[in-house]
Amino acid sequence: MQQINTQVAIAGAGPVGTVAAYLLAAQGIDVVLLEAGRDCALDLRASTFHPPTLEMLDQFGITEKLIAMGLKAPIYHFRERQTGEVIEFDMSELGDVTRYPYRVQCEQYHLARMLSEGVRELPGTQVLFNHRVLTFEQSPSDVTIYAETPTSIVAIKADFLIAADGANSIVRKWLGTEFDGFTYPEKFLCYTTNEPLERHLPNLAHVNYVSDPKEWMVLLRVPSLWRVLVPAASDQSDEMLLADPKKVDVFDRLLGNGDRVVTGHRTIYRVHQRVAKSFRHNRVLLIGDAAHLNNPIGGFGMNSGIHDAFNLGERLVSIYRHGADADEQLADFDRRRRRTTREFTQAQTIRNLQYLDAGEGGQHALRKREMEETRADPVKRREFLLRQSMIDCLEREKEFA
């Protein structure tokens, strides 16, 4: 069996695994990045990059490229589907705390592709597509990972294994770590379309969260198209949900011309709120969707995974380059990132979806009034902007004991 030796092996070349790989490789640490697919997945999930993530990625000189490929979105809307009311927030107000007072709307695969190409060019690295991690074993001094290629099994011996292999992480499953939380009963259905929604719905922002007790929506602009996300009944088969009659229904209700709207992708997601009980198991570290899952309202999943990658990557650099104590560093990574995940990402995404899923009765009226008060009050509005742009949670994380 072929054996490769390296310092850090990373499973998964999604946005989170490629960030970890680039950060380490750029600091002269040997990295092997293992990806099951033939290339980085052409994935239509994350499209929002928040200000702290843009600042982190700027260390790689990549933020300007994302901005050039994407759209700057300083303004986002909370809208009422039934009445057309709009509550507008403007991130330009955060210009005194960040160089990037806006979201960048750009599909996640651009980042993964740019970084995996960048990693390849750095010395001491290997980016291995068509290498699916099957299993691993760890000793007190190293980890051996077994990966399947189309023709063989390869063993990779490393000091550390970083699992960035997504929601169904095989590494997390082998660890047997609890992955507590819940799965939303409804499915999430995502369309892309070239239909100019802004012509039908006046004053649309690039990012719109639309509340409704029957069918909430997220309308997101990316450079070449609109993305429309709606909930869908779990008792209908995926086949029915992906078929034309459902598309006609959804766009009839939205625009009144469902049969004429042409869609590109139609994708169904099962959405979860889950956090692994530990992000660290001796020499194996979990980051990104392998470690935690949340609903997409607010655009926090990939961003928080990238924050994991930076937190962990910088600690590994201090272990390798400055002789920092590995146990202390990795325990601290686990403690801080898990606490931020639980207290911010999980809590905020649950609240964000509750707001959209307006429900029947008085509850939504109350939440909407609070949102209007937040919008009107400069102090509350700033707190809200700092929270929803993920600046606040990272500041708090520095203060954790």
Ligand X SMILES: Cc1cc2nc3c(=O)[nH]c(=O)nc-3n(C[C@H](O)[C@H](O)[C@H](O)COP(=O)(O)OP(=O)(O)OC[C@H]3O[C@@H](n4cnc5c(N)ncnc54)[C@H](O)[C@@H]3O)c2cc1C
What residues make contact with ligand X under the rule CB under 6 A?
11-17, 34-37, 41, 43, 45-48, 108, 132-133, 164-166, 170, 190, 229, 269, 288-289, 296, 299-303, 305
End-to-end CA separation in angstroms for the chain: 46
Using the minimum distance from each CB to ligand X, give the nearer residue, 101 or 301: 301
Nearest-approach distance from CB 188 to ligand X, in angstroms:
6
Run of H or E including 157: strand 153-158
Using the minimum distance from each CB to ligand X, give the nearer residue, 37 or 359: 37
Nearest-approach distance from CB 170 to ligand X, in angstroms:
4
Cα(218)–Cα(231) distance, integer angstroms = 10
Nearest-approach distance from CB 184 to ligand X, in angstroms:
11
**Residue 172 β-bridge partners:** none
Place of tokens 């490929």: 69
Nearest-approach distance from CB 168 to ligand X, in angstroms:
7
Three-class SS state of 283: coil
Using the minimum distance from each CB to ligand X, give the nearer residue, 281 or 368: 281
Using the minimum distance from each CB to ligand X, give the nearer residue, 131 or 368: 131
Computed on alpha carbons and rounded to an integer, the radius of gyration of the chain in Å comes to 21
Using the minimum distance from each CB to ligand X, give the nearer residue, 161 or 204: 161
Using the minimum distance from each CB to ligand X, give the nearer residue, 234 or 257: 234
Nearest-approach distance from CB 48 to ligand X, in angstroms:
3
Q: Give the sign of the dihedral formed by CA 52, CA 57, CA 61, CA 65.
A: negative
Cα(66)–Cα(51) distance, integer angstroms = 12
Quick check: 32 and 158 in contact, CB under 8 A? yes
Using the minimum distance from each CB to ligand X, give the nearer residue, 46 or 368: 46
The DSSP symbol for 123 reads T
Cα(356)–Cα(101) distance, integer angstroms = 24
Using the minimum distance from each CB to ligand X, give the nearer residue, 209 or 251: 209
Nearest-approach distance from CB 340 to ligand X, in angstroms:
14
SS3 track for 79-104: EECCCCCEEEEEHHHHCCCCCCCCEE
Q: 325 burial class (0-12, 13-18, 19+ CB within 10 angstroms)?
A: exposed
Nearest-approach distance from CB 323 to ligand X, in angstroms:
30
Q: Which amino acid is at 38?
A: R
For residue 215 the two structure tokens come to 């069918």
For residue 44 the two structure tokens come to 């239509």
Nearest-approach distance from CB 42 to ligand X, in angstroms:
10
Using the minimum distance from each CB to ligand X, give the nearer residue, 265 or 369: 265
Run of H or E including 160: strand 160-163
Run of H or E including 69: helix 63-69
Q: Spell 184-204 as b/e; 16+ CB within 10 A means b.
A: beebbbbbbbebebeeeeeeb
Nearest-approach distance from CB 129 to ligand X, in angstroms:
9
